Amino acid sequence: MFSLQLRSNAGLRPLEAWHAEEFAAHLDRAREHIRPWVGPAFVTDDIEGARATLRRYAERQAADGARIYGIWLDETLVGGVMFVDFDAALGSCEIGCWLEPAAEGHGLVTEACGALLDWAFATRGLHRAEWHCRADNERSSAVAQRLGMTLEGVRREAWPYGGARHDKQIWAVLAPEWSARR
């Protein structure tokens, strides 16, 4: 099984359908905190919904598309990172993340996203990686900046949530830029 040690007490591993109960318990701790910032289909309310989300990602990964990975801190699932979109033929991907409140502020997402970018660029030969977030999500924008991404633009009122529409930022880094940083 693939596992990447992020630090002595934290690791990155594939998040698979057999993790559905653990994923559902994690979402119980994270749900209200992440709901404004992630897609509505991701924030499920029960074990079957969690299993369905993980199966969707498994099916997409089997087709060389999106992938999802969990971040475990002290052997507890506390969040994760994913390829929201992955298109080897186009040479591009979109990465995303989420964390429960107790895991924030430790640099786990930046480290885990760096591992995804290393793999996408060095192993798979992709050319471009994007990061999409609500413009008012300062924590997410800060991760994009720490990853060396450039803010390319804002899609006005492109993110519906809670009866309002929010602006969406598009950040990106190109393979040569990433290599120069590493």
**Domain count of the fold of the chain:** 1
Query: Letter for the amino acid at 134?
Result: R
Quote the strand ranges of 111-177, DSSP E: 128-134, 150-161, 164-174
Span 23-78, pLDDT tens digits? 999 998 988 888 888 877 778 889 999 999 999 999 999 999 999 999 999 999 99
Q: Over pLDDT 90: what percentage of the chain?
A: 85
| Owning domain of residue 163 | 4-181
The answer to whether 95 and 106 are in contact (CB under 8 A) is no
Q: Rg for the chain (alpha carbons), in Å?
A: 16
> Angle at Cα 161 formed by Cα 31 and Cα 113, nearest 5°?
55
pLDDT of 137 higher than 80: yes
User: What pLDDT was estimated at residue 63?
Assistant: 97
Q: Do the beta carbons of residue 6 and residue 14 sit within 8 Å? A: no
User: pTM for this structure?
Assistant: 0.93
CATH number (domain holding residue 18): 3.40.630.30
